[in-house]
Chain A
Amino acid sequence: MADNVRGITLKHGASEGGNDHTAYLYNSYVNAISRPTCDYCYGSGAIQCSGTHGMRLFTASANGEVMPAKFGHGFDVICKQPVYDSKAFLYDCTFENFRQTYTESTIAQCSGNFAFKPHSGAFDIVGGTNLFNSKCTNCDANSYLKAQAPSSSQLGWFGGCGDILCTGFNNYLIQDHTGDFLGYQGSIIGNNSVFSEGEGCTYSSAMNSHTCQRSDFAALEYQNVAADFQTRIMWPVYLKYDGASYTTETNGWREWEWLGNEPLNKRFGRFVSLVKLN
C-alpha cells in the first residue's frame, strides 16, 4: 500500500461468546510517501501526504459489517459492542517514510504521518499489536503511533461510559518482540500516563504515547459472566500490584444496547487493563 491516507485497516466481526479473536498480517509493505524525490506528486492539488496513517489497529466487534453491502468506508465501522479479546500479529511487514516532518525539499510540505492509529470507534478496546521481524524504515521515533484520548462526549448515562471516561483508548500495547521496529525489544503504550510513568517509560507528546525498553507488560482481559453480566454496575475497577506506586482505573464497556433512541442501561461488565507480568 502506498500513498494512502489510511493504508490498512484490521477489522472483522465475531459472535459473542468467544475468547480468542486474532488478526494476522504477513509480508506487507506500507509507505506514506512512496516517491519522495518527485517534486509534483505531493501537496496541494496532488497526493495527500499529511495526517496519514499506515495501519488502523484491530478491534473485533459483534456482528461486523459484511461485504459487499458495506463496501468502502461503511465496512470499517464499529457499530456493535466489541467482543471479548482483540489482538493482532504482524510478521515481516515494512512501514516506510512515516515522519512528523520531512527535510527533502520535494516533500517539505508533508507532515504528521504515523504508522499506527486506533480505530476511532474503539472506545472499549483497542487490540494489542505484536510485531515480529517488522520494521519502520525512514521513520522517526515520534511517528509510530497516533494515540487518541477518550472524548468527554462519552461521559454520561445516555449511551456513554457513565461518570468516567471510556478506557479502551488507555489500555493497549504495541510490542516489538524482535527489536526490528523500535530498534530494541520494547513496547509502545498509548495515552496512559498512570501506567507508563509508573513503569518508567518515556513520553512522546507527538504520539501522546510512551515507549519502553521493556516487554514485561500485557493486557489483562476480564469480564463478568454471571447472570447479571449486563445489568449490574461494578466499575470502575482498580488495579494495583504489591509494591506499585500507582493504581489504574478501568471502566466497563460503554452502552451498546438501544431501543430506538433510548439506551437500555445494559452495559457489559467487560474490562481491559494493562498489567506488569510476573
Chain B
Amino acid sequence: MTFASMPPEKLQIQIQKRTPTGNSHNFIRVKLHYPKPNTIRLLDKNGAIIDPILLTDVNNTASGVLKDLNTS
C-alpha cells in the first residue's frame, strides 16, 4: 500500500465482512510503503562517526564521543 504522500499517522483498516459475523480465516497482510525522505544524512564515514545534529547537544566536543544531554 503506497499513499501519494505521507501515509496517515493513524490508519483504521478492515476487510469488509462477507458474512454477517465475518470470517477469521479471511485476512491480508499489509505492507505500508513510506515515501522517500527529502534528505539522507551520512552518520558513519570509513568507520568515523559523524554526530547527528542536535540543537540541544552542547556537550559533545569530539566526534564519536557522546555524552548525555543536558548534563554537565
Contact = CB atoms under 8 A, between A and B. Distances in A.
Do chains A and B stick together as partners?
A: yes
Interface in B10-46: 10-20, 25-29
B14 A85 contact: yes
Contacts of B7: 234
Given A237-B4, A277-B27, A277-B28, A222 B13 contact: yes
B54 interface: no
Contact of B5 (A85, A222, A225, A232): A232
Nearest to A84: B12
Interface of B: 1-20, 25-29
Given A22-B20, A128-B18, A175-B18, A225 B12 contact: yes
* Contact-residue size bin, chain A (C-beta under 8 Å from the other chain): 35 or more
A79 to B, nearest CB: 23
A159 interface: no
Specify the main secondary structure of chain B where it touches its partner: loop
Given A130-B19, A225-B10, A218 B4 contact: no
Contacts of A89: 19-20
Contacts of A275: 15, 28
Contacts of A237: 1-4
Contact of A220 (B8, B10, B15): B15
A221 B5 contact: no
A177 interface: yes
B26 A278 contact: yes
Interface string A203-237: 00000000000000011111111111100111111
A37 to B, nearest CB: 39
